[in-house]
Amino acid sequence: MKITTVTLNPAIDQTVRVDGFRPGTVNRGQSMQWDAGGKGVNVAAFLADYGHQVVVTGFLGQENPELFEQLFARKRIADRFVRIPGRTRTGIKIVDEAARQTTDINLPGQAPTPEAIAALLVTVVQLADECDWFALSGNLPPGVPEPLYAEIITRLKAYGRSVVLDTSRDALRLGIQAGPTVVKPNVDELSELCGETLSDEVAIERAACRLLANDIELVVVSMGERGALFVDTARALVAVPPAVAVKSSVGAGDALVAGLIAGRARGMDLADCARLATAFAAGAITRLGAHLPPRPELDPLFGQVAVRRLRDTA
């Protein structure tokens, strides 16, 4: 099964390891690395590590594409990005392994031209002829109309394709109205969408249930160290990851999306999809950059994920 990820606002991730990081003072770093990133790029990298055929598209600055092109070549990911003038943005990640904390500094991206947006829509429709699943991931760059994800979802649904939407704010709200197959907010994004504080799992589950309409089959709510909530019309499951040695939490939600798509592509039931998605996330945080552990390390995590039923009406 071939999968496309769409990344409208990719980033080059500059990851600096600073154990005992303290703001407002001089810190000594232990290491630094640069990675091609952005949520959809991360999803593609995880899926490629797991053996899937993956295509990437979105907007990529034509002045500094080298890190992305090297990643795509190394992981055998097909590159269908629309190149736009300027440089792809940089995102700074300060990783404190000792405290198990990551501080993100995200800079704005490049504004694509109307011609680039039109070219992207043509590319997405072309890919609908060959790909079964699409992951639309990340925020919108400057100058992009907020309904763009919704427009992409509408076009893909006309081809009968399955779509995962992972974004925030108005792009999330408008995208939900278009009816993607799966929606994956985190707790804060779901709270903002619903306009209320979600203080416990029951409140989160009720808010997620309200999204199950207009062709949305599944809502997955990432809850950080508490795991993730998987909600469809018949059941609600909570998947809690095993304890692992955390290198960086960057990309955990993207790994969750990748694992979910991998599970759905294999025809797994909801519980096993939840286990695989959570195992992907647990494995990803043991690495810096968007890389899964080797299968001998990843596969045991699947069995170590604890899944419990919050609701079952099946």
**DSSP track, 92-103:** EEEEETTTTEEE
Phi/psi of residue 283, each to 5°? -70, -40
Amino acid found at 49: D
**Does 314 score more than 70 pLDDT?**
no
Say whether 200 is catalytic: no
Collapsed DSSP state (helix, strand, coil) of residue 200: coil
Q: Residue 148 in contact with residue 136, Cβ under 8 Å?
A: no
Phi, psi (degrees; rounded to nearest 5) at 24 = 80, 15
How many domains, in total, are found in the chain? Answer: 1
Structure tokens at 80: 């269908």
pLDDT in tens, 163-207: 999 999 999 999 999 999 999 999 999 999 999 999 899 999 999
Tell me the HSE value of 37 on the side-chain side, using a 13 A CA sphere.
27
CATH code for position 178: 3.40.1190.20
Q: For residue range 121-152, what is the model confidence (pLDDT) as tens digits? A: 999 999 999 999 999 999 999 999 999 999 99
Domain that holds residue 133: 2-312
Please tell me which residue in 232, 254, 269, 312 is annotated as part of the active site: 254
- Report pTM: 0.93
Calpha distance 109→38 (Å, rounded): 11
How much is the pLDDT for 106?
86
Residue 311 pLDDT class (50, 70, 90 cuts): confident
| Secondary element (H or E) of residue 218 | strand 218-222
What's the alpha-carbon Rg for the chain, to the nearest Å? 18
Among 127, 126, 119, which residue's Cα sits nearest to residue 55?
A: 127
Phi, psi of 163 (to 5 degrees): -135, 130
Cα angle for residues 173, 175, 134 (degrees, 5° grid): 145
Q: d(Cα 297, Cα 17) in Å, to the nearest integer?
A: 24
What is the tens place of the pLDDT at every residue in 202-222?
999 999 999 999 999 999 999
- 182-183 and 218-222 strand pairing: parallel
